[in-house]
C-alpha cells in the first residue's frame, strides 16, 4: 500500500534526527499546491499570561503571550509524487522531502513563523546552510538504508529535478 510506505520511510528519516525523536510526527500524501512538494503543520498552543504581582500591587497590566512548541506535527507530501512509478526512486525523492520538513521542525521554524505574518514573509528560512543540512542528513539516511552517499549536492538537485520533470510533477 502506497499510504503505508510513508510510515516506514518517515521512521528511517527520523533516525537521522535524534534531537527530535520524542516528537510525534505523522506523514501523509495530500493534495497540496503544485509548486510545493511537502509542507509541515504543527498546532501551536497560545497561552495568555498576566503578571499577577504587577497588577495587584501597582495596578499595572503586563500581559505576555506564551507560545508553546507543538507536540504533534503532520508532514504533508504532495500526492503527485505517487506518479513516480519505481518505488525505490519514489522513496529517495519522498525521503528527501521528509528530511526537509523534519529540519523545519528541528529548527522550530513553525514556531517562529507563526508569530507574525509580515515577519513570516520576510524571514528567510531556506538559507544556504539549510539546504546543506538537508543534504547531509539525506546522506545519513542513505547510509542507514545501505546506499552509497552522494558526494555533491548539485548533482542530487539535478537528479531530483530530472525525475520531477519526467513525471510532470513540477
Ligand atoms: Zn521548507
CATH number at residue 6: 3.30.2010.10
Q: pLDDT at position 112, please?
A: 64
Going from the Cα of 127 to the center of ligand 1, the distance in angstroms, rounded, reads 10
CA distance linking residue 131 with residue 129, whole number of Å: 5
Give the C-alpha separation, 126 to 14, whole Å: 20
Residue 6 domain boundaries: 2-166
Q: Give the residue from 102, 99, 94 showing the smallest Cα distance to 4.
A: 94
Task: Quickly state the pLDDT bin for 57 (edges 50, 70, 90).
Answer: very high
Burial class (CB in 10 A: 0-12, 13-18, 19+), 111: middle
The tens digit of pLDDT for each residue in 22-33 reads 999 999 999 999
The b/e string for 134-159 (b: 16+ C-beta within 10 A; e otherwise) is bbebbbbbbeeeeeeeeeeeeebeee
Q: pLDDT band at 95, cuts 50/70/90? A: very high
Give 168 Cα–ligand 1 centroid separation in angstroms.
Answer: 21
Q: Distance from the CA of 59 to the center of ligand 1, in angstroms?
A: 45
Distance of CA 133 from the midpoint of ligand 1 (Å)? 12
Q: What is the pLDDT of residue 145?
A: 95
Backbone angles phi, psi at 27, to 5 degrees: -140, 130
In 3D, which of 45, 5, 21 has the Cα closest to residue 102? 21
CA of 162 to the centre of ligand 1 (A): 20
Question: Stretch 58-81: mean pLDDT, rounded?
Answer: 90
Cα(97) to centroid(ligand 1), Å: 9
- How many separate domains does the chain show? 1
C-alpha cell belonging to residue 34: 503544485
Amino acid at each position: 500500500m502506497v499510504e503505508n510506505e510513508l510510515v516506514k520511510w518517515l521512521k528511517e528519516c527520523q533516525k537521522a534526527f535524534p534531537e527530535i525523536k520524542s516528537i510525534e510526527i505523522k506523514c501523509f500524501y495530500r493534495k497540496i499546491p503544485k509548486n510545493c512538494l511537502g509542507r509541515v503543520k504543527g498546532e501551536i498552543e497560545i497561552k495568555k499570561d498576566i503578571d499577577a504581582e504587577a497588577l495587584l500591587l501597582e495596578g499595572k497590566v503586563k500581559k505576555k503571550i506564551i507560545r508553546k512548541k507543538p507536540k504533534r506535527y503532520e508532514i504533508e507530501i504532495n500526492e503527485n509524487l505517487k506518479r513516480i512509478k519505481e518505488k525505490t526512486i519514489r522513496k529517495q525523492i519522498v525521503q528527501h522531502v521528509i528530511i526537509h520538513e523534519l529540519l523545519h521542525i528541528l529548527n522550530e521554524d513553525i514556531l517562529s513563523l507563526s508569530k507574525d505574518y509580515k515577519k513570516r514573509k520576510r524571514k528567510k528560512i531556506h538559507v544556504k546552510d539549510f539546504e546543506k543540512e538537508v543534504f547531509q542528513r539525506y546522506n545519513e539516511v542513505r547510509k542507514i538504508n545501505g546506499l552509497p552517499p552522494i558526494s555533491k549536492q548539485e548533482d542530487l538537485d539535478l537528479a531530483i529535478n530530472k525525475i520531477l520533470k519526467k513525471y510532470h510533477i513540477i
